[in-house]
Chains A and B, each alone.
Chain A
Amino acid sequence: MSAYTTGDAVTVPQVPVGETFELVINWLRANLSALFDLIGEVIGTSVRTLSDFLSEPSATQLTLLGCAIIAVGLATRGRARAVTVAVAAYLALYLVEALTGVLASVIGSLPGGLFYWAMELFDAGYVFPPLVLTLVLLVALLSIAAQRQWAPAGVVALAWLLVLVGQHILGVQFELFAVLIFAALAILISGWRLAVFTVLGFLLIISMDRWLEAMSTLALVLVATGLAVAIAIPIGILAAYSNRVSAVLKPILDFMQTMPAFVYLIPAIAFFGVGQVPGVIATIVFAMPPGVRLTELGIRQVDQELVEAGEAFGAPNMQILRGIQLPLALTTIMAGINQVIMLSLSMVVIAGMVGAGGLGNVVYSGIARADVVLGFEGGVAVVILAIFLDRLTASVTRFSPAARAKRMTVG
């Protein structure tokens, strides 16, 4: 280069773009490391917990899942107060137990023969206090449901029992039950077509022996998507309300989306080390923009006369947002969330490069070793997950108030 530089050539001064960026990162690392540690800890724990839960849930976690389904079902059917009381009592007891171990000593003082036989069901040789508490909660919720004669609670409880019996007494591996649970989700939200696909696709993942990696990836995608959506929707709402915010945001979102995704990994590693956390962070940055854009679009698209009607009847802005704008924008916002999930999945392989594990790791090893079998199987598993999540989130809009109203028109 210097060979061509003559004395009178016009030289453009070098702007230290990259160096400045590095300085900023170093400054942040030096001054805000506690914050980043906290963020990293929270994200890491949630990914790990979710991933464990998806691949090999404990009896307590399974019981909690059953409780959660029944609690949500009851709460939406006008029993919110009773459910809140039960859950609050559970949390209080749980806290007391964690702090004092009262329950453990009570159980310890009782003759063991009373319940050791029952522990077979939960594959435990000893009595685990949190499990006992959760079982009590389940019984409490079931009795509330019985009052209401809400049959699905019984179905959930039966399914829960079957899973435990199958897993710990008959010795069926949990993967097969998980497939059934995913298929049930597919039937409830989308329909039988997706359920059939789910059973076949997930069985294929099991037969390729990629179940653990797939669940780890699913956990990573779910955590990243959840965080990205939690950040994107408020920003999108702000952008819909203010033209100035929208104008400032547009180039930033463009930047976030077009910057090669690999680049995010470098500072992410600097802040959080290798592992799942930088993978999640890079995924959030890369996948968030459509969530913001479509939230803004959805809210701006709501008929201005409806907003005016809300104002004309004296509704405060917050009530107009909650009661009019968000419900009517929900379909568009869900399309944005769907896009966020798809982009998150596309980041999985890249995240695998920084040790995020899961299917990304499988594919990346396939590349590194030029192993076609490994790479292709990992890729197929990603595709199955992608189709499952895509169809599932696309169907969620069926439950939006606007879509329900439209169905009433047809029916």
Chain B
Amino acid sequence: MTEEETVPAVRADRLYKVFGKEGPRAVDLLSDGRHRDEISELNVTAAVIDVTFDVEPGEIFVVMGLSGSGKSTLIRMLNGLLEPTSGVVEIDGTDITTLPSNQLRRLRSQHVSMVFQHFALFPHRTVLENAAYGLEVSKTPRAERREKAYHALGLVGLEGWENHVPEQLSGGMKQRVGLARALTAETDIILMDEAFSALDPLIRRDMQTQLLELQASLGKTVVFITHDLNEAMLLGDRICMLRDGRVAQIGTAEEILNAPADSYVANFVEDVDRSRVLTAASVMLPPSEGLDSSVAPVHPDTTLANLFHRASRSPAPLPVVDDSGRLVGELDGSALLAALAPNGGEAGGAGVSGTGTTVTAEPGRPVSKEGGRP
């Protein structure tokens, strides 16, 4: 995030989308800080309000919000399917809001592909033809696009299904085809609109793991939309929390867990399985003198869920040792337990239970708005 030279893969700058005739006027009012319910007399729907973020190349950027928070509208502005009412979207440094439609189409076919919530596979085409669609649009020769589609289908584990039609596939397999279609297009950016939300929990888990593996090997930039916080925490290098069209907080999973920007975010992260998000590095204590070196060390990136068993068996604290073999901290059972409390860690004993945190700020709108964007 600190590399200043690199051009962000996706950049949104003060982005607004207001549906309705009075859109521009609504933008003026909203930029003065009014809530979208306060401008109901304009008869407009403010879906996205003043959203600004950068997505670095190779990053998984998760946009997280409940239904109606404007996340689907936001993602459709990132590839120009919707035109922003105000603000700028840049893809690899190109402002797409001013592009004529033919150049916008070319940009989509070369730089930004998309995976859809309900798969959006073409029922009249085989799996292979579906996967090859992006290259068909860009007029790649038939033999080449078939070969690339075969390859992408292999990457998502669908060898042997090339000549079936989507109807014959289960939900998880359909979405693999959707993913293969996006991969075959060979774009550097993939937008995923609630891509795994329609899948069964077990299959969703598989797909999440697969996406992380693919991203690690292919280095694609992924903008991932979800309403599931656990999914956001698992996948996202950084997470953008949307609330009522506005950004509530942008940060890594740990930042959001440990330092929620307002009571809304705090409420939201309350139910997260912290043990799967927090890592040894974020909860460890400074190494103490005379640490028992006979105890097997753990890696700083290990999630807490994978540490409980060992911490409970080990009489001495676990040493935390990084890749270069340096001792960076230590962990014991009590540190692990303390980290699981909401707002635990550095907050000390401020919020011990879920109800405790909400006392300080009721989740009513005025309070959280002030807390959210100073």
Contacts and interface: CB of A to CB of B under 8 A. Distances in A.
Contact of B105 (A316, A401, A408): A316
A324 interface: yes
Contacts of A402: 123-124
B175 interface: no
Interface in A323-339: 324, 327-328
Nearest to A306: B120
A14 interface: no
Given A313-B133, A314-B109, A405 B167 contact: yes
A308 B76 CA distance: 10
A303 interface: yes
A8 interface: no
Contacts of A313: 108-109, 113-114, 133-134, 137, 181, 185
Interface residues of A, number: 24
Interface in A257-310: 303, 305-306, 308-310
Contact of B124 (A308, A309, A314, A327): A327
Nearest to A328: B124
Contacts of B181: 313
Interface string B55-89: 00000000000000000000000010100000000
Given A313-B137, A314-B108, A315-B105, A408 B164 contact: yes
Q: Name which of B108, B112, B124, B164 has the most chain A CB atoms within 10 A of its CB.
A: B124
A319 interface: yes
A37 interface: no
A312 interface: yes
Interface string B33-64: 00000000000000000000000000000000
A316 B185 CA distance: 16
A406 interface: yes
Contacts of B161: none
B124 A305 contact: no
A319 B102 CA distance: 13
B151 interface: no
Q: Name which of A314, A404, A405 has the most chain B CB atoms within 10 A of its CB.
A: A314
A242 interface: no
B164 to A, nearest CB: 7
Interface string A369-411: 0000000000000000000000000000000111011101100
Contacts of B124: 327-328, 400-402, 404-405
Contacts of B209: none
Interface string B85-129: 000000000000000001001111110111010101011110000
21 contacts: A305-B118, A306-B120, A309-B122, A310-B133, A311-B108, A312-B81, A313-B113, A313-B114, A313-B133, A313-B134, A313-B185, A314-B107, A314-B108, A319-B137, A400-B124, A402-B123, A405-B123, A405-B124, A405-B125, A405-B166, A408-B164
The 7 A-B residue pairs with the shortest CB-CB distance, nearest first, are A314-B109, A401-B124, A314-B108, A309-B120, A312-B114, A405-B165, A314-B105
Interface of B: 79, 81, 102, 105-110, 112-114, 116, 118, 120, 122-125, 133-134, 137-138, 164-168, 181, 185, 191
Given A311-B108, A314-B109, 16 more contacts: A305-B118, A309-B116, A309-B122, A309-B133, A311-B105, A312-B112, A312-B191, A313-B185, A315-B109, A319-B137, A401-B125, A404-B124, A405-B167, A408-B168, A409-B167, A409-B168
